[in-house]
Amino acid sequence: MNDTGTDLVPLPGALSRPSPSVGRLVLNEDTLIEAQPGTEGVARWLRSTVGAATGLPLRDGHDADHRIVLRIDPATARELGPEGYRLIGDGHGLRIHGGSAAGVFWGAQTLRQLLGPDAFRRAPLPSKRQWSVPVLAIEDAPRFAWRGAMLDVARHFMPKGDVLAYVDLLAAHKLNVLHLHLTDDQGWRLEIKRYPRLTEVGAWRARTKVGHRASPLWDERPHGGYYTQDDMREIVAYAAERHITVVPEIDMPGHSQAAIAAYPELGNTDVIDTTSLSVWDTWGVNPNVLAPTDTTLAFYEDVLTEVLEIFPSPFVHIGGDECPKDQWRASPTAQARIAEEGLADEDELQSWFIRHFDRWLTGRGRRLVGWDEILEGGLAEGATVSSWRGYAGGIAAARAGHDVVMCPEQQVYLDHRQAAGDDEPVPIGFVRTLEDVYRFEPVPPELDADGAERVIGTQANIWTEVMESRQRVDYQTFPRLAAFAEVAWSRLPAPEARDFAAFERRMTGHYARLDALGVDYRPPGGPRPWQRRPGVLGRPIEGAPPIV
């Protein structure tokens, strides 16, 4: 990339100055937006965000000068793909040509960055009267089709407004998938009208463990909340306007105690008294899993029927991780199912469970996604694998012809600590610095070209066991999500050859954008006093993370 003094994040594919004699393009009250067919939503977004921050009306119009032209361009689609864009400026106006409306939108996000940090505010500053952008030619397109962040709203509920704010943060970083972890042992967060007790009972827990599960500390306040179906439709529509797909996760057959607390017949009633279970108040792997019965299958088919009505996403995540088999081993009902289906063991019983919902979703035009444990006992035919325990699950799935989203915990779990110092709040897992995330490579070298094509994308996961508020989520997520976004979007060299020093320099400007957005990120020098959590036990793991 030519040196033009810009600080764009993520790094664009190619950037140059078409004319050294033309310095900057001024935007003022006469600047118009010409939204050609299919780009009307991008024009709406520009007026609601850039217009609000600058105070400029950005009216519709077709005058020759002071014009921002938004256009879906077949040539750009052919050469750069549907999410690619070209941003071309001169002294009279600016053109954003995209391979689709999404490509035009990502170009508009770049324009917002070029306007400076104050363009990320919600209202204009009285002292800011001049707006301009450097006259540049940018050609850009993403490396991966799936550029995701998983937000765990099950462990700690995030109000709707906070989720909408995170949609905007993903969009600002050109990430296009929001994976919402909606159910777990500690809470059920989505209204299901056929089964109201899922939220009447399952959305609330009496108290909450503070810190790691070995911590002696408890927050004795009840915790909970859920999204009505209309709340979630609003989130989905808001995300769609920003070209972000919301992928729902309904966890099964493990991580299901909240559902069992609401409807005890879903559990292994021939092993334990499921009526005694409540929504879990601590962390870890829970032994109480769903029973492999026709009743359970029918129940979750009903749940997913309502889920499909809310989420147009082609992908539906069903979890499938951390399902202890002890209750199934002790359950006559589960053992009878193993014999009836001709299965070898409890691992194949889990595979039978997953395959059922793979067929069910496929029959309705959707695709199943699950954590890499769904490989155990045999992978369902149409399943996509979220490879979280390392690269190995993703490698095995890709070699078997399955699509993969790489999200290894050792690299891109953002609940892991950001430094080794004692001030790091609730230190979990390996040290993963900003530089570590920047050098993350989603496609392992073990895959040949065909296998690499199966890696459809990558995802950073934000688990919230030790993140009780939006402020804590901000701290753990940023600035590392900016580094991850560049890995997911930009075609970077091999990890060891990446210019982290240049990325740090660009981050100087990006911190100012995060400030304008009100993000309580971790500063480069370490946590601020109010970001620390002295005395709250974590679970730090020493040494470099293994590549597994």
As a residue count, the chain comes to 548
Provide the angle, in degrees to the nearest 10, between the axes of the packed helices 101-114 and 160-172.
Answer: 90
Marked catalytic residue, from 97, 173, 179, 255: 255
SS3 128: coil
Q: Are strands 223-224 and 204-205 parallel, antiparallel or unpaired?
A: antiparallel
Q: What is the secondary structure of 271-305 as a DSSP string?
A: TS-GGG-----S-S--S--B--SHHHHHHHHHHHH
Give yes or no: 322 in active site: yes
Q: Are strands 384-387 and 367-371 parallel, antiparallel or unpaired?
A: parallel
Give the bridge partners for 527, in sequence order: none
Is the Cα torsion angle 304, 308, 314, 316 positive or negative in sign?
negative
Q: What is the secondary structure of 172-199 as a DSSP string?
A: HTT--EEEEE-EETTEE-B--TT-THHH
CA–CA gap between residue 401 and residue 396 (Å, rounded) = 9
CA–CA gap between residue 71 and residue 118 (Å, rounded) = 26
Scanning the structure block, which residue is given the tokens 């993350």? 440
DSSP letter, residue 12: P
For residue 356, with 0-12 CB atoms within 10 Å meaning exposed, 13-18 middle and 19 or more buried, which class applies? middle
CA–CA gap between residue 326 and residue 319 (Å, rounded) = 19
SS3 507: helix
Assigned token pair, 195:
């089964």
Marked catalytic residue, from 7, 73, 83, 184: 184
CA–CA gap between residue 500 and residue 51 (Å, rounded) = 33
Give every CB contact of residue 467 below 8 A, 6+ residues apart in sequence: 155, 156, 415, 473, 476
Marked catalytic residue, from 162, 322, 347, 435: 322
Residue 87 phi/psi, 5-degree rounding, is -115, 115
Amino acid at 413: Y
CA–CA gap between residue 487 and residue 481 (Å, rounded) = 10
- List alpha helices for 115-188, DSSP H: 160-172
Assigned token pair, 135:
């006259």
Give yes or no: 255 in active site: yes
Please choose, from the candidates 515, 507, 478, 471, the residue with its C-alpha nearest in 3D space to the C-alpha of residue 121: 515
Instruction: Provide the annotated active-site residues.
Output: 184, 255, 322
